[in-house]
Amino acid sequence: MTAATLPRTSLAIVPPDNPGHEVPYHRYLDCIHCGLCLSACPTYEMLGTEMDGPRGRIYLMRAVTDGRLAVDDAVRTHLDLCLDCRACETACPSGVKYHEILEPFRAGLAKSGSPTPLPWVQRWAMRWVLPFRERNRLSLAPLRLLNRLGLGRVASLVRFLPKSVRAMHETLPSLSRHPGKLPEFLPAIGTRRARVVLLVGCVADAVYPETNWATARVLQKNGCDVFVPRAQECCGALDYHGQNESRAEKFARANIAACGFAGGEEPDAVISNAAGCGAMLKEYGQIYGNTDFADSARRFSARVRDISEFLIQLGPIPPTRPVPLRAAYHDACHLRHGQNIFVEPRKLLAQIPGLTLIPLPESELCCGAAGSYNLTQPEMAGRLGDRKAERILATGAEAVVAGNVGCLLQITKHIRQTRPDFQVFHPIDLLDRAYGGGGP
């Protein structure tokens, strides 16, 4: 008897008010309790308790699904502390799809009782600001203006605001003038090799717009016609994981149509430079596999590429300008564990003349950003951020490189507490420099 043919649960039918109602039950049975995932788990590494590791959490969720355990505060706390970083999936020899257990279980938990309370400002921001590109940009405009006028210290008045607002403000790097929106179309330089769509992200476009411009330039220099559709929306990850599934679906439909997969001309690739967004976009085909747009969702997801993955598959034009820098590379969880991409960014960086890549111990351990985790679990996020900063500084590198906006924000915050001059880059920022860069 295979796992898939085993009875769905010892109760045969899971009642709809049980948080495990939507969990594919055979996923629990994939786990053989070997414990090989434990040392890969950031929360197990920090706390050393079985229930704060993948095996213990799977056990907890299965026991609740079977009706052997009631959901109490302890169960919620163990599950809330999980970063959903998926490091346990990379480590697991049995192919346990941990996120396919955790995510529907968490959705069930939210429906069956109050989720972990967040201050209203953060709930409001996560619902009405963060998933919207223009609102993010507008909300940061006053800070950019103060910095431009040399009044950046005025922003320190934020210390008189509530702790929840300060927490969000503290995650921001110093912001200079926003370079503006990318044009809707940027032509290939030289012989055209591909037609691509670039998705610029919501928070990423507000906080690191220069990286989007750099991505577009690098694509052009590698012979790509680049389309930046105005009608693109948030990837939907924040809503999907925050139990606002209907809006996540609305965003998915809009992105699929904006990229030409609903009757238009389909591009050769849909490019993302943010690991978290890319992982979500690649899952549209699976998440929306039973909807009326399932076919277009599958075609869309099959074309999604992280920028490093795309360039290595295309064969990058070798950059020639030296970038003399000793840099360490941090593996963003949703690139390493969510998309199995770890060779490609290193290969790209290795092509940059003058750049020395220094090995980073624990490069695969989560930095504590994990989507909105640094807002929902600030204490553990802070401990992981400090640990990451210590490891990076111990390498003697002058800079750290990571392919995800959340990691860039989190690492910048923690490392600059001790080294204000330390540099933090997206790999494409450095590749763009090596191609000669060029402002918007």
Instruction: Figure out which of the listed residues 51, 96, 168, 199 binds ligand SF4, where binding follows CB under 6 A.
Output: 96
Q: Which stretch binds ligand SF4 (CB under 6 A): 9-17, 79-87, 215-223, 409-417?
A: 79-87
Question: Which among 202, 226, 248 has a CA at the least distance from the CA of 314?
Answer: 226
Q: Does 51 bind ligand SF4 (CB under 6 A)?
A: no
Instruction: Figure out which of the listed residues 14, 23, 37, 168 binds ligand SF4, where binding follows CB under 6 A.
Output: 37
SS3 of residue 320 by DSSP: coil
Structural element, H or E, at residue 167: helix 163-170
Q: How far apart are CA 41 and CA 339, in angstroms?
A: 17
Instruction: Figure out which of the listed residues 54, 201, 276, 345 binds ligand SF4, where binding follows CB under 6 A.
Output: 54
Q: Does 214 bind ligand SF4 (CB under 6 A)?
A: no
By CB neighbour count within 10 A (0-12 exposed, 13-18 middle, 19+ buried), where does 192 fall? exposed
In contact, 387 and 418? CB cutoff 8 Å? no
Q: Does 94 bind ligand SF4 (CB under 6 A)?
A: yes
Helices (H), 191-332: 203-207, 209-221, 237-241, 245-258, 275-281, 284-287, 294-303, 307-314
**Longest pairwise C-alpha distance within the chain:** 70
Read off the amino acid at residue 308: S
Q: Does 84 bind ligand SF4 (CB under 6 A)?
A: yes
Nearest distance from residue 89's CB to ligand SF4, in Å? Answer: 7
Nearest distance from residue 105's CB to ligand SF4, in Å? Answer: 12
Nearest distance from residue 370's CB to ligand SF4, in Å? Answer: 8
Instruction: Figure out which of the listed residues 7, 10, 33, 159 binds ligand SF4, where binding follows CB under 6 A.
Output: 33
CB nearer to ligand SF4: pick between 19 and 54: 54
Q: How far apart are CA 345 and CA 336, in angstroms?
A: 10
Taking the CA atoms of residue 213, residue 218, residue 223 and residue 227 in that order, the dihedral angle to the nearest 10 degrees is: -30
- At residue 427, φ and ψ (nearest 5 deg) are -55, -35
Q: Does 98 bind ligand SF4 (CB under 6 A)?
A: yes
CB nearer to ligand SF4: pick between 83 and 196: 83
- At residue 194, φ and ψ (nearest 5 deg) are -165, 160
Binding mask 56-75 for ligand SF4 (x = CB under 6 A): -x------------------
Instruction: Figure out which of the listed residues 23, 71, 75, 88 binds ligand SF4, where binding follows CB under 6 A.
Output: 88
Binding mask 134-173 for ligand SF4 (x = CB under 6 A): ----------------------------------------
